[in-house]
Structure 1
């Protein structure tokens, strides 16, 4: 396989103008290979003609991208899981998960609408597509969560104790310093 060398700016991989090179990585670096392969595919697609983009099988690309993201998630979560916690697509609407240790949990597509996640530990949890509308994240730790996006935080409630990933912004509607606490 051919990969381009990459450099990492906090949270953002960027392709450099180095020429492609062949790589035969050691087995323990398979996640690096997966990332490099994905970057090469993305790079190739971005330089396509309008005609080639119109002919693109988006469903197949989405399926392939999902498989790569799931594999990356499993590699990261394997280092932190101490029990199987697969809550993929789970109905956790209104659930009391206050203080829960959800490190390394798979919460892909979970319905956490109105759930109490006060002081929950969500580090290394896969949050792809999790629905946090109205969820209480007061004091929760999401700093190293996987695939958390801004719209998920915007849909939830939090406070000054809530720790968010460094690439995201604390929503303005969350409790300000010295404001009312959301802890129950």
Structure 2
């Protein structure tokens, strides 16, 4: 779950807070909420620096054309103490503290998507889809994709098992199932 609070350049809350689930509709709901408050005015989205937890959110906002900054956790905590009544703590208060910190401190780290990291994420997502996808009567993936789809279990994929088929689909005998570079000894 994510809680969003909007503040203006002076740090005053505008609009109503939004609570949205961490699901497939997250970005669409959040962008519609931002548009209802700011229209087409450029908006900076500030996220508390829990990059592992909020990375999908930050990526989605950035890919939708929004500027995204990371607010360090300690900075958010300091602004919570400055702006909250009696050191209260709630998701809305935390979201407001993050927004206030972003307004007060220019030059916070901007979220970027490294091209290599993005490509790796796409491959990992593809691998996950291959694992989950049903294949021929819900049988595990076979052939060359099995090596990609199989988690790192230490067990060979079907194309690496003795007596299996090689990448070209040709049948291999048990002697061909040796590590690369190992010499073949026929007795």
Q: Shorter-chain-normalised TM-score: which range?
A: under 0.3
* Greater fraction of residues in strand: 2
TM-score (norm 1): 0.22
* Greater fraction of residues in helix: 2
TM-score (norm 2): 0.21
